[in-house]
Chains A and B, each alone.
Chain A
Amino acid sequence: MRLIESLGKWLDARLQIGSAIRESAEHPVPRKTASWFYVFGSAAFVVFAFQIVTGIMLALIYVPSAGQAWNSLQVLNHNVGLGWYIRALHGWGSNFMVAIVLIHMVQVFLFGAYKYPRELTWIVGVFLLLVTLGMAFTGQVLRFDQDAYWGLGIGASIASRVPVMGSSIVHLMLGGPIIGGATLSRFFALHVFLIPGLLIAFVGLHLLMVLKLGINEWPMPGRVVRKETYSKEYHELTKKDGLPFVPGAIWKDLFFSAFILLSIAACAYYYGPFGPSGPPNPTIIQTAPRPDFFFLWLYAVLSFLPPSMETPALLIGPVIVILALLLLPFLFGGGEKSWRRRPTAVLTILLVAVSLGTFTDLAEHTPWSPVMDAWSGDPIPSKFLHNRSALERQGALVFQVKQCHNCHSLGDEGGKRGPALDAVAVRLTQDQLIRQVIQGGGNMPAYGKNLTPAETTALVAFLETLHPAGQSPAKDASRAIALGGDSAAPTSGHLQYGNE
């Protein structure tokens, strides 16, 4: 004990930082901020440090070469003792870090902590969010598998839409004309050197300002931020009702950070590492690329935007969001801090959370994509085939063979790209069915060139059987009259169309 003490004295005589450290550790914070709501920032910092450690562990084995990276991940997963676990820790650490940074941001927003005089702390925080997302995306690329390869293609396709400079930006991003060795090398440099460097610099600034300006006081309804008086009020508060950060508040940070690290360790143990999926060989096209969890919402948005909106939304949308975040403290720098008096702030958070949650959930099910193997893998449920005529069953065969099932579900099986057809005969008359099949429309391709008249006849005959038992199919009331006053509706076997 004595040895440690004298060693400490020896060091401090030379470094002379002991008093500065003690001063920052014991700086007074408002008593109410020693709260479980104020633990997310420190947890994000701890997870970041954890990511650096596990990242360096992975770099001992990982090979940042397009030809070798995937194999080196296999080696990590299977040949290196507990290599899989380090990969899992880093992957889960990444998810936790993004989640905690987002929660931290929401808490700061709802507690009005971005208001005067902490505008710059918020702005640096916005950059911290961006570089954290940058780490998540580049990290996903380093897991150089099929998803990473095609994900890069998606990134390139988005970047290429920038007017005039699009092509140059793509070449700079990929490091060449195609996704290849140079691409992985530069994403490695970004993920391992450049972005972490920025992250460390921003974290330093962020922390410095938290220390200099003091932690945001607990927002009280009615306590309004005024630039002229705020600093004085804050200092009085910390003097009157404050306590030293160490040990007054830090024990909650310590417990929460340890709990988060334990959660990462548990997730890594139970769920294991992420991928890699198939090898990054672009000639293997039987793949449905998907981004990692935190980019799923974007994946969904990209499928719902109308084509004409897509390029403007992709290029201008992020700029608007980032600008709005950066300008927030200047537009709403004073006034109430408490979320109880800021209904718009609460509604904004709810709206964003519900939107992102909905899009993420949709992206888990991708209802907009054809199910590529439904035509060969999902048979038509037998209830749709009982007591059907030969023609109608032939139509069911056409339905399968022509891949209709990839986009249309029957009995909940098959694609969800188009409407479910369980009761299509109630919605469309025979003529409408024929027209829809041949001409397409409403986002359905036209099948006129790929169906013979006989196939169309059979297919429509089958579709006409698709209605609930007690409900009769839709009929065109004028059809019988148009066909010569015959009251009997023509049967499906005598369709009239084509160039008769």
Chain B
Amino acid sequence: MTQSGGLSRRELLMKLGIVFNGVVGLVLAVPIVRYLLSPIVHLRKEGDESWVSLGGVEQFPSGETRLATYRNPIVSPSDGDTADIACWVRNVDGNTFQVFAINCAHLGCPVRWFAQSGLFMCPCHGGVYYQDGSRASGPPERGLFQYPYRLESGKLLIKAGQLPTPGNPVASNTNIVREIRPCA
């Protein structure tokens, strides 16, 4: 077949073929990108945090700080032990509590409680916190992360569900929760 003018039939077909592939690529890219973004899209829909129980209040004597563990509210079958999260519970005066994340506010290593000196110490880079979670020394820029809590039928509940990091502290409330909210 002879060519007439600028665009031959074959060139046109090739260009159409490229456009066709582009459209198909786009159609496929949308679900692929949505799949890749599922960790954050899910976050926006309903949030990762919910109330979980740390057990009966009697486990946390007044004036003491104890280690507590909970199963993360969002679990997948392959999580194994990694969904068991630890936190520090401080019973301030029998009525007021503070629940600290185990993760140092510097880089997330597990802080340990020393009752005798009333300090939390971090084994990684030497961050130290006072018993109320405020920063005492070392590289952390802030105090320990705190979970919001409430008491319900004799149980201590905290709102938890995601790894607390400096850019994303637990929930929005990082102040000490001073009052016990009435049971829902």
Contacts and interface: CB of A to CB of B under 8 A. Distances in A.
B82 A280 contact: yes
Contact of B109 (A162, A172, A289, A368): A289
A440 B110 contact: no
A309 B123 CA distance: 21
A161 B76 CA distance: 27
Interface string B70-111: 001011111111111110000000000000001100111111
Interface string A152-187: 011011111110001110111011111111111100
Contact of B128 (A68, A153, A167, A370): A370
Closest 10 A-B residue pairs measured CB to CB? Answer: A67-B80, A181-B78, A160-B167, A166-B167, A153-B108, A177-B162, A445-B136, A160-B165, A303-B125, A177-B48
A342 B104 CA distance: 45
A302 B139 contact: yes
Interface residues of A, number: 71
Nearest to A68: B80
B43 interface: yes
Interface of A: 65-68, 149-150, 153-154, 156-162, 166-168, 170-172, 174-185, 279-283, 285-289, 299, 302-303, 305, 307-308, 310-311, 368-370, 372, 375, 401-404, 406-407, 417, 440, 443-447, 449-450
Interface of B: 36-37, 39-40, 43, 48-49, 67, 69, 72, 74-86, 102-103, 106-112, 114, 116-119, 121-126, 128, 130, 136-141, 161-163, 165-168
A151 to B, nearest CB: 9
Contacts, number: 216
9 contacts: A153-B165, A156-B163, A170-B167, A171-B39, A302-B106, A303-B125, A370-B126, A403-B114, A446-B136
Given A65-B80, A67-B80, A177-B43, A161 B166 contact: yes
Given A65-B80, A162-B167, A172-B40, A406 B121 contact: yes
A401 B115 CA distance: 10
B79 A157 contact: no
Main secondary structure on B side of the interface with A: loop
A303 B111 CA distance: 15
Contact of A180 (B79, B116, B141): B79
A149 B102 CA distance: 13
A473 to B, nearest CB: 25
B72 A305 contact: no
A167 B47 CA distance: 13
Contacts of B114: 375, 403, 406
B123 A289 contact: yes
B137 A170 contact: no
A66 B130 contact: no
A450 B137 CA distance: 16
B108 A302 contact: no
A154 to B, nearest CB: 4
Contact of B39 (A153, A176, A369, A406): A176
Contacts of B118: 449-450
Given A282-B102, A372-B112, A302 B107 contact: yes
B82 A157 contact: no
A146 to B, nearest CB: 9
A281 B71 CA distance: 12
Contact of B103 (A153, A159, A170, A182): A153
Given A177-B162, A370-B128, A372-B112, A67 B168 contact: no
